[in-house]
A and B are shown apart, each in its own frame.
Chain A
């Protein structure tokens, strides 16, 4: 790891690679995940799923299942008249269990609760469903045909759009949402162009493979509901549960223990409403634990078709970009409308583009629902945008690095009117990547290099709170609604709390993601936690400090002199009083505590949107095997432009993990549908990267203090995924003169491209 730092030094332990706070728990097996929890009376649920991609349900016969020994409850939509069945973050179109119709193979139809999971599974086989199969579509293009089967007869409920009203503009019944992003005079841009590059690019349906499958436990009390879940956003889940069951927010408690992988796939609500409905009918606490095969059918990443035209002048300056994007959202909207809006926003990348016009439609298909997945629209559109930058460089006789230098936004420059200026130095990032990759050094035959960039409007919305409690012994409890999903939030948030309140790290205890015990945070996603929760913790620490200084004056020096605030207490004359002593003095005994509050909203430094730009800067060197079509990434460079690395070792882990995930999707990963069914919905056939896929690594962290967070911090963790497919495609051109437009770049696709090159003498 190489660090390039021009920011001021923050207070210890901020900026230090302290060991992860969840380390001992996770290396001894003591760390508890939702799937490890148990409780007295816990019953187990299994779900019957549709074998048809699209069918009307004529009748469900559950009689034999109900009387099966050990079965506690058998639940269909008809058994839940008291539950609001339909939920959804951006469009409320998703019934927690099928209501009269199924829209993808794998959709839950019946839930069975039994004393144990094996009995529940046995009972599933005793259920008979009478289906009327309907015509189906498994691609966005097919869904938009004139004769396409209509997947949702009526639009999702209007009440729940949560800010997506303007995006719900239907041009075809199967369009789920429609976003548009535009600025400048696009016709003029193309009229003035010396070069227009056009192409269609495809990004696959993908699977995040969080290793802990979706699972939850629901337990009803007297008018209240507690759910333990392997989810990223406890507060969003709380809102949907309150809606489904007609409860006040305060009556719903959502608890998230350690999470076995998220990557966006555990954002928003998944199986929690179904689990709670089953527990309601069973009258017992219920666990619903899905298999990996079921998890793949629960949420996947959006497939994209991007048609892009880019206009350039003869010096390589971008004049305009015009694009249409189709996202295949599957049977339900989930979060795809937001993925679509972000894809439109992210198509421009980190470039100065005088005119842009992008439309993005998310389209229903009879496939598993698509939703958030690391990168969130950016990997899909970056493949298109960055491919055309390199193609333009080739056609104009420019170096790919030089054409980027001519177009990247300079610090503070706004990508489009009304948004935050770019909070990064992209020229410097490019130079770092080029130097690590050895851009100008000779290459052997069959190898090629590329450097690609991305910029994402990240951080989601600033709606974040924290409470910092200073106890009578001077130790500190910090509560926050941000989830530890492996990214290291339990470590970096504690580091920031310790640095801001001025106590030793081992005196700080962090409590996360229990809606009954910690205060509100919108979500753990969009790389926002370090930046926004960091700011909330800083605000809470400052609030506590201000109170403690007043308390010290009032109780330790009522008649003067004026107390002086120090890093870890106050000074009165020559005497230093730590925070604990002030708490004790103010309460007049040996106990008490001071409560600091932190609120972060669209105000002050976090008023402008987005809260920050997340930069991706990745370089690769690839080899292309002419006889087999295998592409191998030989060398991988990541530049983590994170403003201030609160914990550099964890930043490096995020960058490498993200880039390797991108490498998987660029080279192998794709969920394949045939005849309405998912053909490779298991880990035998859906192959994720292994140790043997790891290239030679060069990681760089650039810290220029240019973010809105503490000491200039801003988010990371998605950036190093976003440009990977584009970088591999561009490097393949330089290695073998083939343009790859469809990810993943499997040996078959690459081999075909090589043969086509040979056939056309290219």
Chain B
């Protein structure tokens, strides 16, 4: 195995090329090499969803996803949600509905919910509950998170 590999990928729509060790996870590359510390690591074992990012639009757990596998692909993190500094409808809804407390699960929760809404712009409550089942939150008890996602969906429908 080579000592290093060159990685070329898009991070939040910016072309990025860096040299990494093959063993590095996407979470390590984002947090330690690219200073994108919004992505959090908690269980480090693909259970909690805190490190959820989007790779080519699909949710992955960055803690167990090898960065090398992101080569040539498009990665989106929480730092990319506020286009031109304006909060996304979902981010604003999380603030309006207090869809977070400590905030440690929030980046992963937002990315999972972003993917959910891109797949299904008008989800039922049940679909939101099922769609976020892989993202743990120990603070909120989930009610205000689910409300926030549903509110963002209805705002998006209303502004179409």
Residue ranges of A at the interface with B (Cβ–Cβ < 8 Å):
17, 19-20, 22-33, 35-36, 208-213, 258-263, 291-292, 485-488, 649-650, 652-653, 656-661, 682-684, 688-692, 694, 697
Given contacts A653-B101, A658-B141, A661-B138, 9 further A-B contacts (CB under 8 A): A27-B87, A33-B104, A212-B104, A259-B102, A292-B42, A486-B103, A649-B98, A653-B141, A694-B129
Say whether B94 contacts A292, CB under 8 Å. no
CB distance from B21 to the nearest CB of A (A): 9
Residues 72-130 of B contacting A (Cβ, < 8 Å):
77-79, 81-82, 87, 91, 94-98, 100-107, 110, 128-130
Q: Of B3-11, B54-62, B142-150, which binds chain A?
A: B142-150
Question: Which 8 A-B pairs give the minimum distances between C-beta atoms?
Answer: A29-B38, A486-B102, A260-B104, A660-B141, A26-B103, A486-B101, A29-B78, A23-B95
List, in ascending order, chain A residues with CB within 8 A of B95's CB: 19-20, 23-24, 27
Q: How far is the CA of A660 from the CA of B137 in the complex (A)?
A: 10
List, in ascending order, chain B residues with CB within 8 A of A650's CB: 98
Say whether B37 contacts A211, CB under 8 Å. no
B44 interface contact, C-beta 8 A? yes
Closest A residue to B47 using CB positions: A683
List, in ascending order, chain A residues with CB within 8 A of B128's CB: 691
List, in ascending order, chain B residues with CB within 8 A of A31's CB: 103
Q: How far is the CA of A291 from the CA of B40 in the complex (A)?
A: 13
List, in ascending order, chain A residues with CB within 8 A of B45's CB: 292, 682-684
| Partner pick for B138 among A32, A261, A488, CB 8 A cutoff | A261
Say whether A29 contacts B142, CB under 8 Å. no
Closest B residue to A263 using CB positions: B138
Say whether B140 contacts A657, CB under 8 Å. yes
Closest B residue to A210 using CB positions: B138
B20 interface contact, C-beta 8 A? no
CB distance from B90 to the nearest CB of A (A): 8
B36 interface contact, C-beta 8 A? yes
List, in ascending order, chain A residues with CB within 8 A of B104's CB: 33, 210-212, 260-261
Q: How far is the CA of A212 from the CA of B102 in the complex (A)?
A: 9
Residue from B50, B101, B129 having most chain A Cβ neighbours under 10 A: B101
Q: A27-B95, A292-B44, A682-B45 are in contact. Are A697 and B102 (CB under 8 A)?
A: no
Say whether B96 contacts A19, CB under 8 Å. yes
Say whether A656 contacts B42, CB under 8 Å. no
Q: How far is the CA of A212 from the CA of B98 in the complex (A)?
A: 19
**20 sample A-B contacts, Cβ–Cβ < 8 Å, listed by A number:** A19-B98, A20-B95, A23-B95, A26-B100, A27-B100, A28-B78, A28-B79, A31-B103, A33-B40, A260-B42, A261-B139, A487-B101, A657-B101, A657-B140, A684-B47, A690-B133, A691-B142, A691-B146, A692-B133, A694-B141
Say whether B133 contacts A657, CB under 8 Å. no
Interface contact tally, CB-CB below 8 A: 163
Say whether B48 contacts A694, CB under 8 Å. no
Say whether B141 contacts A29, CB under 8 Å. no
CB distance from A191 to the nearest CB of B (A): 46
List, in ascending order, chain B residues with CB within 8 A of A20's CB: 95, 98, 100
B132 interface contact, C-beta 8 A? yes
Closest A residue to B126 using CB positions: A692
Residue ranges of B at the interface with A (Cβ–Cβ < 8 Å):
31, 36-45, 47-48, 50, 77-79, 81-82, 87, 91, 94-98, 100-107, 110, 128-130, 132-133, 135-146
Say whether A260 contacts B82, CB under 8 Å. no
Q: How far is the CA of A213 from the CA of B82 in the complex (A)?
A: 27
Q: How far is the CA of A109 from the CA of B85 in the complex (A)?
A: 48
Say whether A262 contacts B129, CB under 8 Å. no
Q: A24-B87, A27-B95, A212-B102 are in contact. Are A653 and B140 (CB under 8 A)?
A: yes
CB distance from A322 to the nearest CB of B (A): 35
Closest A residue to B80 using CB positions: A29
Residue from B50, B79, B137 having most chain A Cβ neighbours under 10 A: B137
| Partner pick for A212 among B42, B101, B107, B145, CB 8 A cutoff | B42
Closest A residue to B90 using CB positions: A27
Q: How far is the CA of A17 from the CA of B95 in the complex (A)?
A: 11
Q: How far is the CA of A533 from the CA of B98 in the complex (A)?
A: 22
List, in ascending order, chain B residues with CB within 8 A of A486's CB: 100-103, 139
Residue from A26, A486, A650 having most chain B Cβ neighbours under 10 A: A26
| Partner pick for A28 among B87, B98, B132, B142, CB 8 A cutoff | B87
Q: How far is the CA of A486 from the CA of B100 in the complex (A)?
A: 8
Q: How far is the CA of A211 from the CA of B45 in the complex (A)?
A: 13
List, in ascending order, chain A residues with CB within 8 A of B141's CB: 653, 656-661, 689, 694
Say whether B47 contacts A488, CB under 8 Å. no
Closest A residue to B141 using CB positions: A660
Closest B residue to A259 using CB positions: B102
Say whether B98 contacts A29, CB under 8 Å. no
Q: A211-B42, A263-B138 are in contact. Are A28 and B102 (CB under 8 A)?
A: no
Say whether A27 contacts B110, CB under 8 Å. yes
CB distance from B37 to the nearest CB of A (A): 4
CB distance from B16 to the nearest CB of A (A): 17
| Partner pick for B37 among A29, A684, A697, CB 8 A cutoff | A29
List, in ascending order, chain A residues with CB within 8 A of B94's CB: 23, 27
Closest A residue to B100 using CB positions: A26
Q: How far is the CA of A33 from the CA of B50 in the complex (A)?
A: 14
| Partner pick for A692 among B102, B129, B137, CB 8 A cutoff | B129
Say whether B102 contacts A262, CB under 8 Å. yes
Closest A residue to B102 using CB positions: A486
List, in ascending order, chain B residues with CB within 8 A of A22's CB: 103
Say whether A690 contacts B143, CB under 8 Å. no
Say whether A213 contacts B42, CB under 8 Å. yes
Q: How far is the CA of A263 from the CA of B143 in the complex (A)?
A: 18
CB distance from A394 to the nearest CB of B (A): 31
CB distance from B29 to the nearest CB of A (A): 14
CB distance from A490 to the nearest CB of B (A): 11
Q: How far is the CA of A746 from the CA of B93 in the complex (A)?
A: 36
Say whether A660 contacts B106, CB under 8 Å. no
Say whether A694 contacts B47, CB under 8 Å. no
Closest A residue to B41 using CB positions: A35
CB distance from A697 to the nearest CB of B (A): 6
Closest A residue to B93 using CB positions: A27
Closest A residue to B43 using CB positions: A683
Say whether A688 contacts B146, CB under 8 Å. no
Q: How far is the CA of A754 from the CA of B15 in the complex (A)?
A: 61
List, in ascending order, chain A residues with CB within 8 A of B50's CB: 211
Closest B residue to A658 using CB positions: B141
Q: How far is the CA of A683 from the CA of B40 in the complex (A)?
A: 16
Q: How far is the CA of A429 from the CA of B44 in the complex (A)?
A: 42
Q: How far is the CA of A406 from the CA of B79 in the complex (A)?
A: 56
Say whether A29 contacts B107, CB under 8 Å. yes
| Partner pick for A36 among B37, B79, B91, B101, CB 8 A cutoff | B37
